[in-house]
Structure 1
Amino acid sequence: MKFLQEVRSEAARVTWPTRRATLQTTAAVLGMAALTSIFFFVVDQVIGLGVRELFGLGG
C-alpha cells in the first residue's frame, strides 16, 4: 500500500508536456524520420547504380 502511495506522489510531481509541445516534438521526429529515409533511399540508389555500372548488370 505504501508503495502505491509513493508512486502516486511521484506521478503528481511529474511535469507533463503540453499538448502543443507534444505535437511539435512528434512533428519534428516524423519530419526527421522522413528526411532520413529519403536520404538513405537516394544513397542506396546511387550505390546500386554504381554497382550495376561497375559489373555491367541490369538494363
Structure 2
Amino acid sequence: MASRTNPFTFLQQVRAEVSKVVWPTRKETVVTTIMTLILVFLTAIFFFVVDQLLSYGTGFLFG
C-alpha cells in the first residue's frame, strides 16, 4: 500500500502536474467543435436514411 501524503504536499504535486498540461488554443477548440458538429450531423443523416430504408423494406415485405 502506498504511503500517505499530507494535503500540502498533495496540492503541490497537483499544481506541478497541472502545469505540465498543454491546453488547446482557441482556434484548435473552435475547429474541433465545428468538425464534431459536422460529423454528428452526417451521422444523423446516415442513420435516418438507413432507418427509412429498413422501414420501407419491412413495409414492403409485411405490408
Report the TM-score when normalising by structure 1: 0.90
Of the three residues 12, 24, 35, the one matched with 2:31 is: 24
Q: Which runs of 4+ in 1 moved over 2 A?
A: none
The match for 2:57 is 50
Q: Calculate the aligned-residue CA RMSD, in Å.
A: 0.6
What is the aligned residue count? 56
Higher RCO (C-alpha under 8 Å, 6+ residues apart): 1
Cα deviation, residue 13, structure 1: 1.3
- Structure 2: 5+ residue stretches without partners: 1-7
Q: Report % sequence identity.
A: 52
Aligned-partner SS, 2:56: helix
Q: Does 1:38 align with 2:60?
A: no
- Structure 1: 5+ residue stretches without partners: none
